[in-house]
Amino acid sequence: MATQLSSRLFHKIKQGGTRWFYSYNRCIVSDKQSLSKHLKREVHDIEQVSSQCPSPWMLQAGVCLIRLPLIEEDLSEFQKRYISLKEQMEYENSILNEWELEKIKQTQLMNDIESGKRDASEMDFKVSKQDYEDDYNQAFKEFTESTTELDLNDADFKNINRRPKDYLVLISKQKLGNDTVWMLPTEEWKEEENLRQSAERALTSHCGTLVDASFVSNAPSGFYKYKFPKNARTDAYVGAKLFIYNAFVPRVSETQSTATFNLDIDLNKMLDYAWVAKDEMRNFLKPKYSKAIDEIIF
Amino acid sequence: MYILYLWCKHVLQFFVAVLLSLIRGPKIKDKNMSLSCTWHLWGKSFRVGKCLPAISNSLRHYRNRPTHNIGRMHGLEKPKPPPVRKKEVGTWKPEEYKAVKENHLDALNFIVSGYDIVLVEQYAKYVHQLMIKFKQNILEVYALPSSNAVVKKMLGADQRLLKAMTPEIELTMYKRIIQVKDMPSQTYPILLQTLMHYIPQSITLKVDKHNEEQHLSRYQYRVELAEEKAMLQQLYDSR
């Protein structure tokens, strides 16, 4: 009877159906160890594998050319309230500085001289601190900024300075078969080059060689896989795998806040272009495509 | 009454164990069973040859213990069997590829510069903390001497110099440097892009490789050394 009982217990543990908590002492060690003995991992060379079984996916490299925001975002209500509170606290806890002490002394002295308590010879300054302050305030009123204003025409999609507080991405209208599709500038990967080199080639072939964008890494930042429409599918390719590389429009100088962009469009490839913010992308691109780009941009 | 009940139970168990051991004999096949145990009954201990913990309480509930109701599946869903695949699916076996050797970048200088010292210091602090959090090898964090730019106001014909105002304004440029070594080439783009996102307005971030020149620019101009060098050069030329 004892052996029967024990075997039943054993069976239960194996099944894993119920937990018998005094059985943890006798739990069988799982099969993980035995697996490693039998399956040996073979190390392959990439070229060997790819020649043996070519994949039906065309490899493409795309460029996500990003224009960084030109101006800081507005503070939220909470931030404004907190900042004003902090400033108030700092002001209330502060001590008068030398300038303010001098100013108080001088005004006191002038009042005393006027009322006759003190002699006029005690004045040891020509221009009082209060006069300085009045001059400064007046200069501030008269001051005009000599810098050019940003053209805030947010409706023009081709203007690189639109929506100065947001991240903008360049998208282009290209031909895919018979249709025109809005997508990132892409190029097919060729055998001799890196993915990054093909991304750079995509940028120069679509936007011209004058664009001085800087790529950040050798590895792609995003990925998007799509199938061609059934007309365009061949024996070799079912669809394409797009590897997206980040590139940034460079800052022209430390003093200027506007961005400039020298486009030399190849009209065969790029029919139209637009600088598009994150929330506007859905109007142009397919939802999954825009989601893939969303994950790249902040 | 409860004590009596306990006592009776213990005694019963003892006798059952004794009986069974007598019936079955000393050999038990299952190795996992404990070979001997002692029964304690009010100070006295009775040794039984082979005892069977399997018989001990599995029906009690121990409701005041936290392990109460472990394993209870009443009212819960039973685990469903995996859905039957109608399509033929090939098994995918992951194949190991030769990995590329890790590439580490040489010493990099992250230079934070701007006119507002508060922003410069706060942002440099942020850069430093980010490097610490990513466990990078930070060599040095230092400040370069600030450079003054003097701005002279050119007054127009209709403008007058107010009695208190000076025509010259001094702008000082502040710089802080964070030097990082052996950053893996995968993390560098990630960190760079986060830094680009969080940079405040009017601050510039520049990333350079560390040179001899940059290293020497930290040192002050040595007057005596320069004089002696000039003398040596003169001697050499006069030969």
Which distant-in-sequence residues (6+ apart) come within 8 Å of B108 by Cβ?
Answer: B179, B180, B181, B183, B188, B207, B208, B209, B210
- Cα pseudo-dihedral B135, B139, B140, B144, rounded to 10: -120
Residues of A in contact with B97 (CB under 8 A): 43-46, 49
Q: How far is B45 from chain A (nearest CA, A)?
A: 24
Same domain (yes/no): A41, A28: yes
Contact criterion met (CB < 8 Å) for B32 and A139:
no
Map B2-40 to HEC letters.
Answer: HHHHHHHHHHHHHHHHHHHHHHHCCCCCCCCCCCCEEEE
Same domain (yes/no): A199, A61: yes
pLDDT at position A9 is 47
The mean pLDDT of chain B is 82
> Does a structural domain hold residue A151?
no
Report the residue of chain A nearest B191, measured CA to CA: A216
Report the residue of chain A nearest B72, measured CA to CA: A18
Please state, in angstroms and rounded to a whole number, the distance separating the CA atoms of residues B24 and B35: 14
Q: Return residues 46-85 of A near B (CB < 8 Å).
A: 46, 49, 68, 71-72
Same domain (yes/no): A61, A45: no
Report the residue of chain B nearest A245, measured CA to CA: B189
Pick from A22, A131, A216: CB nearest B193: A216
Local confidence band at B126 (pLDDT 50, 70, 90 cut-offs): very high
Same domain (yes/no): A62, A102: no
Work out how many domains chain A is built from and give that number. 3
Please indicate if any CB of chain B lies within 8 Å of the CB of A108: no
Same domain (yes/no): A92, A183: no
What average pLDDT does the segment B220-232 reach?
A: 92
Same domain (yes/no): A215, A235: yes
Q: How far is B215 from chain A (nearest CA, A)?
A: 24
Please indicate if any CB of chain A lies within 8 Å of the CB of B33: yes
Contact criterion met (CB < 8 Å) for A2 and B33:
yes
Q: How many CB pairs under 8 A join A and B?
A: 84
Same domain (yes/no): A279, A259: yes
Contact criterion met (CB < 8 Å) for A19 and B70:
yes
> Does a structural domain hold residue A171?
yes
Chain B interface, best mutation among A4, A5, A255, by max B CB count within 10 A: A5
Same domain (yes/no): A65, A201: yes
Report the residue of chain B nearest A215, measured CA to CA: B189
pLDDT at position B192 is 94
pLDDT at position A116 is 85
pLDDT at position A43 is 56
Local confidence band at B28 (pLDDT 50, 70, 90 cut-offs): very low
Residue B163 predicted with pLDDT over 60: no
Which distant-in-sequence residues (6+ apart) come within 8 Å of A23 by Cβ?
Answer: A9, A12, A13
Q: How far is B170 from chain A (nearest CA, A)?
A: 16
Residue B183 predicted with pLDDT over 90: yes
Same domain (yes/no): A196, A289: yes
**Residue keyed to tokens 């011209």:** A208
> Does a structural domain hold residue A257?
yes
> Does a structural domain hold residue A246?
yes
- The pTM of the full predicted model, rounded to 2 decimals, is 0.65
Same domain (yes/no): A22, A90: no
**Residue keyed to tokens 């502060």:** A94
> Does a structural domain hold residue A43?
yes
Contact criterion met (CB < 8 Å) for A45 and B98:
yes
Contact criterion met (CB < 8 Å) for B165 and A139:
yes
Please state, in angstroms and rounded to a whole number, the distance separating the CA atoms of residues A226 and A170: 20
> Does a structural domain hold residue A22?
yes
Residues of A in contact with B29 (CB under 8 A): 3
What average pLDDT does the segment B157-179 reach?
A: 76
What average pLDDT does the segment B136-154 reach?
A: 89
Which distant-in-sequence residues (6+ apart) come within 8 Å of B19 by Cβ?
Answer: none
Distances (CA, A) of B190 to A297, B179, B197: 12, 17, 11
Which residues sit opposite B105 in a β-bridge?
B183
For residue A261, give its domain range: 57-70+158-297
Please state, in angstroms and rounded to a whole number, the distance separating the CA atoms of residues B125 and B130: 9
The mean pLDDT of chain A is 80
pLDDT at position A197 is 92
pLDDT at position B205 is 93
Kindly report, residue by residue over B38-76, the tens digit of the pLDDT.
444 445 555 555 555 556 667 788 999 999 999 888 888
Q: How far is A38 from chain B (nearest CA, A)?
A: 14
Q: How far is A273 from chain B (nearest CA, A)?
A: 25
Which distant-in-sequence residues (6+ apart) come within 8 Å of A241 by Cβ?
Answer: A57, A58, A59, A60, A223, A224, A225
User: Bigger pLDDT: B132 or A161?
Assistant: B132
> Does a structural domain hold residue A150?
no
Residues of B in contact with A130 (CB under 8 A): none
Contact criterion met (CB < 8 Å) for B96 and A71:
no
What average pLDDT does the segment B83-105 reach?
A: 80
Residues of A in contact with B200 (CB under 8 A): 72
Same domain (yes/no): A66, A207: yes
pLDDT at position A220 is 92
Q: Return residues 138-157 of B near A (CB < 8 Å).
A: none
Report the residue of chain B nearest A247, measured CA to CA: B193
CATH number of the domain to which A245 belongs: 3.90.79.10
Mean per-residue pLDDT pooled into runs of 10, chain A (298 residues) = 46 46 41 48 58 81 91 91 96 94 91 85 81 85 72 78 88 81 90 91 87 88 89 84 92 71 75 90 91 88
Same domain (yes/no): A83, A65: no
Please indicate if any CB of chain B lies within 8 Å of the CB of A35: no
